[in-house]
Structure 1
Amino acid sequence: MLSCAVTDGVLIGHPCCGVHNCAIPLSSNHAWYCPLHTGREASCAAEGCNNGAEPGRKTCSNPEHHLLEENYYAAGHSHHGGRKKAPGLKAHFGRRRMHNEQLIVHPCGVIVARGTFYGAESLSSVAEFIHGVFPTPQAMPDVMFYDNNCCLHQYLSGQGPIQEHFSKTALVVDVFHFKNHHSTADQYCSTHCNPMAFPQLYNQQSGQWTFNSSACEQTNAWLRNFDGIVQEMLPVRYEFFLDEVIRAHNHFCVDELQHNNALPYLMDRSLLLNGLNSIA
């Protein structure tokens, strides 16, 4: 018996601290920085610059930083063809929002876990998230679908203990992304993450895939409908709301599976502790 999970990120979230990857809650949904970093409000908005902003501006006296600010506000007008570029420089002038929610979903549609990513959907963050949800190698699914698994597979190489944690799991790119977004010239992806390379994942006789590798994409489309509701919430209300709608979603999903005689069940914990058959 093969176990499978699918992970992906969905762009939904609430306001957060303007310091990259800071998870400290804001004091109100009108604040730009958390209580720890509130002193940054008077600093230059250019990334990496610690100078104070000039009066009436959000940037310091650096002309290149001025240009960033001018370009930002020019973008809000219909005529801005004369904007000049400031290569290699970035700035953050508006309120920062958390990057995404990362979901892990079973192919049947039941949501296993979610994780809030504040800064980016980085490979290290995805690996740590999966590791936290499946804390032992025996608990890891036999198959993990992710649209960026080819990069995750390379990232894990040489990472020591965490690479060993993933060693019995097939890190496969979901079918849709492999066919439409991954180059056939990418030998690494074709060798390690091609779903067609695993005969257990495809039934040649029926022409059907063993698992619905798009389960997370489909669930993300459902969850994204709540973005307008949660986008101004503070973390406590946001976390409570998402947990409740996900709980309701899972109850509905299990009821539908039972109605269709799909026989959903909770896996015996001893199976996870004793290990499962691996296809990797």
Structure 2
Amino acid sequence: MEKTRAPFKGREIHATPVCESDHSLSFFPSLPCLRKRGVYSADKEKSTSGCQKNGGRHHALFPGIFTTFCPHGICYGFEVMECAESPNRPFTFLKTRFERAPEIIIYDNTCNLHQYALNRDPVFFSHTRMVVDGLHWDNHTACAIGYKGLDYPFIRRINTQIVEQNNAKLKKLKSSLSYMTPAHFLMSLKFFLWHCNFTLKRCSQSGRNNTC
């Protein structure tokens, strides 16, 4: 037990410089960049996790869009991924845009993210519970049962598949977004996600959540 507590004792959150500017291909209006990610000794080490998330990509296009949502389904914003998604993506998002790490993180690759985060800044994430969403849990055959989100009653009340549902909507725009100029791409995506948020909020206020 003492060995598991050791990384959190007598240590402070890894301090990094303040952000001078935000990423040009990201848009998080309510979560501006607060600090830089930082460089860690673990960045030079190869991951030893037995659980892998692989994905293909187009030879000439960016791999995709990284989006984040609140428990009510409102999209906080997005970032265009310049390389294949890995635990570094959510780690960098959380470390650079939050004063304190969220208490709950629901993510399809949580097992790897948790290891990745604790190997870099364990104090920052010391009060964070990370779980796998309901849709992807069955794909995790070697993960601890503690990562199964739907085993927690308070998480069952959350739509843990909101990201995948949103991705299904975004796929309808793929053919048009893929070949836009960066400026038009960002403008179109901002408007689309704003419309999704507006529609969800309007439906919630009218009590028609299941029909929106």
Q: Could you say which TM-score interval applies, normalised by the shorter chain?
A: 0.5 to 0.7
Asked if the contact 1:136/1:165 (under 8 Å) is kept, the reply is no
The separation in 2 between residues aligned to 1:117 and 1:182, in whole angstroms, is: 24
Whether the aligned pair in 2 keeps the contact of 1:145 and 1:171 (CA below 8 Å) is yes
1:182 aligns with 2:140: yes
The residue that corresponds to 2:68 in the other structure is 104
Give the count of matched residue pairs: 156
Query: Are residue 249 (structure 1) and residue 196 (structure 2) matched?
Result: yes
CA displacement at 1:246 relative to structure 2: 1.0
By how many angstroms is 1:95 displaced? 5.2
SS of 1:112's partner is strand
Deviation string, structure 1 residues 178-236 (Cα, Å, up to 9, x no partner)? 1x2111xx2x4323x122553433xxxxxxx2211011111111111111111111211
Matched, 1:156 2:110: no
Supply the distance in 1 between the matched residues of 2:126 and 2:172 (Cα, whole angstroms). Answer: 36
User: Looking at both structures, which has the greater relative contact order when contacts are Cα pairs under 8 Å and sequence separation is at least 6?
Assistant: 1
Matches within 5 A, 1:174-253: 174-178=133-137, 180-183=138-141, 186=142, 188-191=143-146, 193-196=147-150, 198-201=152-155, 209-253=156-200
Whole-angstrom CA distance in 1 between matches of 2:153 and 2:168: 29
1:99–1:120 CA contact under 8 A, matched in 2: yes
Runs of at least 5 residues in structure 2 that lack an aligned partner in the other structure: 1-22, 26-56
1:171 to 1:227, Cα distance in 2 relative to 1, 3 A? same
**Contact 1:101–1:115 under 8 Å retained in 2:** yes
Amino acid at match of 1:182: H
Structure 1 residues without counterparts, runs of 5 or longer: 1-22, 26-91, 202-208, 263-280
Name the residue aligned to 2:132.
173
Selected match of 1:143 from 92, 104, 110: 104
Which structure would you say has the larger Rg? 1
Task: Describe the SS at the equivalent of 2:180.
Answer: coil
CA shift for structure 1 position 152: 0.6
Tell me if structure 1 keeps the 8 A contact 2:87–2:112: yes
1:1-280 matched pairs, under 5 angstroms: 96-133=60-97, 135-137=98-100, 140-160=101-121, 163-178=122-137, 180-183=138-141, 186=142, 188-191=143-146, 193-196=147-150, 198-201=152-155, 209-260=156-207
Residue identity opposite 1:198 in structure 2:
Y
4+ residue segments displaced more than 3 Å: 196-200
